[in-house]
Structure 1
Amino acid sequence: MSDELAIKLNDCTTKGYVIAPAGYGKTHLIALAVRASSGRQLILTHTFAGVNSIKTKMAALGVAASKYQVDTIASWALRLCLAYPKTSGWKVENPTSKQWNKLYECCSGLLGKKFIRQAVAATYVGVYVDEYQDCSELQHALVCALAEFLPSRILGDPMQAIFDFDEGKPVDWDISVYPSFGCLGQLDIPWRWEKSGNPKLGAWLKEARKKIERGQKIDLLGERPPSVVRVHTDPEYLSSKQYSSLCNLLNHDESVIALHGGDQQSKNKTHLLARSMSGRFSSIEEVEGKNLHSFVKKFVAAKTVQAGFLLAVEFAKKCFTGVADALTAGTKRGEVANLRKGTRYPLVLKAANDYLNEPTSSHLKAFFLALKSNPETSAYRRDLLYRFLNVLKMHVDGEGATLAEAANTYQREMRHTGRPISHKKLIGTTLLVKGLEYDHAVILDADALNAKDLYVAMTRGSKSLTIIGTCRHLPAK
């Protein structure tokens, strides 16, 4: 099916779509189609993690680099507009979140110019857009502008259309896609679970998807494979069941993702649960790193060394458990403290004193590293911690005249390099992990998820799925 569909995509001369459920080989299909191309294809996606994934698949299938360019929609649009600033009306090199909408509008307008179309058509013979369910209406308009003069194939999964971004309203497939793009096909084999040796889990998820699409509910007491574990609980015991279920997944080196929904309250729950697990599970931060940038802004504005250090201590408490117990009374007040025979953690005290005596990023980094290596403090927000350590390193290395500049530079680079966290036991939200794959998935409060969040959560684990909740039938909402 994939080979035939790949040829169909390559032969498409107008615009079409492919429905690609989670784990069904969408990236593989794109690579096969591009390999069949006689010219260079433009492949657009949403994240740099997605860019890297596509490039890796291309290399694995031996697709010549001359046959494609992979980029994010945002980066490609920005580069095109900056190349023609007078025609596009765009001159901002580093747009903020509120400026991206305007950029997409400028790019769509630019693509309406005949000489721009000629330049783009001379570079590419066609377009592929991955993860189309993540497109905003403005990004869709940009793709439609490309589709007016280049064969354009879009691939995505409306069932995974969950959103939390500032780039306009999400594209409505019923209104904007189905009437104007032709159906090229639908992937139908759950390869993620076939390849992991769990075809029964893949088949169960395939049936679950059909029920969710039809507006029906999944009966958790119905037939299910052993790899789908239902943990039934009363509401008052939910947190203890979450804790014990995660503890049961600590006895191996395989990856585990534990998931809440995507709302702000759920984001806070991920950090609280990671803290209660004393860092054995680590919580994931949102891409924008709002907590980090909020701290850096307050820190650089501190009027005294003492005030800045106390802010750093409070920030450390967001990264580690046990910070208060690791500091002396004087250190907690932001004072240089004497090392005594009874001082429990002299390395932490020395690092704090070094910073208070000479407030440099190098000394601040040493203080956080001392907490990291301290036996009584455990990192539970490693993602947040490692981002901050990278910002400090960049400032020490001169990549930013100020700490705030280093933080902004790091944020831009992280979009290319990906998250710095490599811990295998993670707690996150559906929004932060859609498109990613783990060995085992745990839905922490299944009753709280709507149909699409539930489907995203259910399809993250290739080897097992644990569903914790009070209801027999899902989705409960």
Structure 2
Amino acid sequence: MDEILEEAVAGLAAGIARGSVIAAAGCGKTEQIVNATLLSAGRRLILTHTHAGVDALRWRMDKKLVPKSRYRIETIAGWCLRYTASFPARSGIHIAAPRTDADWQSIYDATVKLLDAGAVTNVLRASYGGLFVDEYQDCTQSQHKVIDALAQTLPTCVFGDPMQAIFSFGGQVPVSWDADVFPSFPKIAVLQKPHRWLREGNKELADWLSGVRLKLEAGESVDLEQRPACVHWQALPADAAYQRPKIVGSCKALLGPAANDGIVVIADAKNAGARSGLAKMLGASGFTNIEPMGCKTLAAAVRNISKSNGEQRLEFVMGFISECMTGAEERPYLKAVVSHRQGGKLGQKNFGDLIATGIAIVKNEDLASILALIEGFRERPATTLYRREMCYAMASGLRLAINSPGKSLSDAIWDVQNRIRHAGRIIPKRSIGSTLLVKGLQFDRVVVVANGAMNGKDWYVALTRASKGVTILSTAPKIYPAVQAAPVPEAAE
């Protein structure tokens, strides 16, 4: 089955009752879904995991002029919530806005119950001619049960790549291809033509990545002495104290020949503090930190600001500002506020009207002064914002809370982050993140900082983010994939 011609895959996917297509990174998976939709009888329901994924699929459909009447694209979570809410008596679910893992587990369980009971069989058959599911490697066991139940009614083909299964699931069990997927959806094809790199005229990187994939799949090490010219290896000091300056220097050196290229630095997934530290040192060079959607630094700042008042509240606000930007001069500013409250003039030339804003925060609990202080420091010529997403989320949450009487800052931040989940976010041209945060994104160049926790899938996702060039920083000229373990959540900041 793996030897089937690529041109025939879309037709197979459109016509099969149950099947799966494996697609290595950059090998045309989305294009096959679009083509299969055009070849499908009736309207296709297309499910994926993120709203960014929904947007990407819609964009590709529009690019190929696929009539909107031929498909409906949703997230798996969104579709399950919509159907259980539409049939509350049958599903037994009355959760309008699920927030916790337990809430979502209830939604998925109720969806399976609804489907197994046949309560919506006629509705589904009248609405759709079949189902495609994208990024199937990111499914949990609960989501897999939903898709398996849907496949009892709709012809279903799933698309994904076991080598990109790196999402964390907060204790939920990720789907196993051998034990779960292939028994339910037999493999009909494997996509291996590296379209992404061939479009760039970079066949040597495509060939190298193909060979690396085979080694990583087998759990073998990769010799970096044998590499094409577009792949660079640099020695990382064994002493952790000297590693960050080396990483920063390597990134700055890359800016000369790649001044106009998109660059991502992929660093330790378990050390968000180290990643933000790199962003701080590289902020003046235009790099910014990609934040987890449930950013713990932001959550802690919201809690601290909400429960404090007076001088302590101002200290928490300034602590947050210093976490977002360089040049804030936190201690001198706080001393200036104290001086002015006592009748002095310390810091007047340096901080100007920001001192009065700080005094307002000390004297009352209104959120408007906090927003004004954050925006005031952000506009200072001496500051460089290196955690843009976190800063903008706080500012947006403050505005929402100010304009929504009775809404807490915590609830406002949750609303803002939920809106971002739906609308998607713009990733800066120069970014710093982890494999989990950059999965599915594409850049011209990638700088991968090796650490012992990276398994073969982490390495594969990291290396395949670049279309032009790869730089690897490690203590030895070899990739040593860690033993594969269950995915773990991003570590606390």
TM over 0.5: yes
Aligned CA-pair RMSD = 2.2
TM-score by length of 1: 0.93
In 1: Cα distance, 2:439 partner to 2:406 partner: 33
Deviates more, 1:280-289 or 1:147-156: 280-289
User: What is the deviation of 1:3?
Assistant: 3.4
Which letter does structure 2 place at the counterpart of 1:171? V
CA contact (8 A) 2:332 2:347 kept: no
Is 1:286 matched up with 2:289? no
Is 1:200 matched up with 2:207? no
The SS at the match of 2:174 is coil
User: What is the deviation of 1:238?
Assistant: 2.8
In 2: Cα distance, 1:306 partner to 1:337 partner: 16
Instruction: Please list every run of 5 or more consecutive structure 1 residues that lacks an aligned counterpart in the other structure.
Output: none
1:185 corresponds to? 189
User: What is the deviation of 1:32?
Assistant: 0.9
Deviates more, 1:335-344 or 1:291-300: 335-344
Residues 51-90 of structure 1 correspond to what in structure 2 (within 5 A)? Answer: 51-90=54-93
Q: Deviations over 1:38-57 (max 9, x none)?
A: 31111111110101000000
Deviates more, 1:396-405 or 1:56-65: 396-405
Assess, with a 3 A threshold, how the Cα gap between structure 1 residues 307 and 38 changes in structure 2: closer, same or farther.
same
The SS at the match of 2:428 is coil
In 1: Cα distance, 2:38 partner to 2:70 partner: 7
CA contact (8 A) 1:44 1:72 kept: yes
- Count of aligned pairs between the two proteins: 471
Assess, with a 3 A threshold, how the Cα gap between structure 1 residues 386 and 337 changes in structure 2: closer, same or farther.
farther
Percent of aligned positions with the same letter in both sequences? 33
Which letter does structure 1 place at the counterpart of 2:118? K
In 2: Cα distance, 1:293 partner to 1:418 partner: 20
CA contact (8 A) 1:46 1:74 kept: yes
Deviates more, 1:79-88 or 1:289-298: 289-298
The SS at the match of 1:78 is helix
Instruction: Please list every run of 5 or more consecutive structure 2 residues that lacks an aligned counterpart in the other structure.
Output: 483-493
1:455 corresponds to? 460
Match of 1:277 among 251, 258, 282: 282
User: What is the deviation of 1:122?
Assistant: 1.3
Assess, with a 3 A threshold, how the Cα gap between structure 1 residues 7 and 314 changes in structure 2: closer, same or farther.
same
Match of 2:269 among 255, 259, 262: 262
Which letter does structure 1 place at the counterpart of 2:69? S
1:96 corresponds to? 99
Assess, with a 3 A threshold, how the Cα gap between structure 1 residues 356 and 446 changes in structure 2: closer, same or farther.
closer
Which letter does structure 2 place at the counterpart of 1:282? T
CA contact (8 A) 2:28 2:191 kept: yes
CA contact (8 A) 1:439 1:464 kept: yes
Residues 51-450 of structure 1 correspond to what in structure 2 (within 5 A)? Answer: 51-98=54-101, 99-166=103-170, 168-222=172-226, 224-236=227-239, 237-251=242-256, 252-263=259-270, 266-280=271-285, 281-302=287-308, 304-323=309-328, 324=330, 327-331=333-337, 343-356=349-362, 359-398=365-404, 401-419=407-425, 422-445=427-450, 447-450=452-455
TM-score by length of 2: 0.90
Assess, with a 3 A threshold, how the Cα gap between structure 1 residues 119 and 332 changes in structure 2: closer, same or farther.
farther
Which letter does structure 1 place at the counterpart of 2:264? I
User: What is the deviation of 1:307?
Assistant: 3.0
The SS at the match of 1:115 is coil
In 2: Cα distance, 1:144 partner to 1:334 partner: 67
Which letter does structure 2 place at the counterpart of 1:93? A
In 2: Cα distance, 1:207 partner to 1:248 partner: 28
Which letter does structure 1 place at the counterpart of 2:477? R
In 1: Cα distance, 2:406 partner to 2:34 partner: 39
CA contact (8 A) 1:41 1:127 kept: yes
Assess, with a 3 A threshold, how the Cα gap between structure 1 residues 119 and 350 changes in structure 2: closer, same or farther.
same
User: What is the deviation of 1:325?
Assistant: 5.4
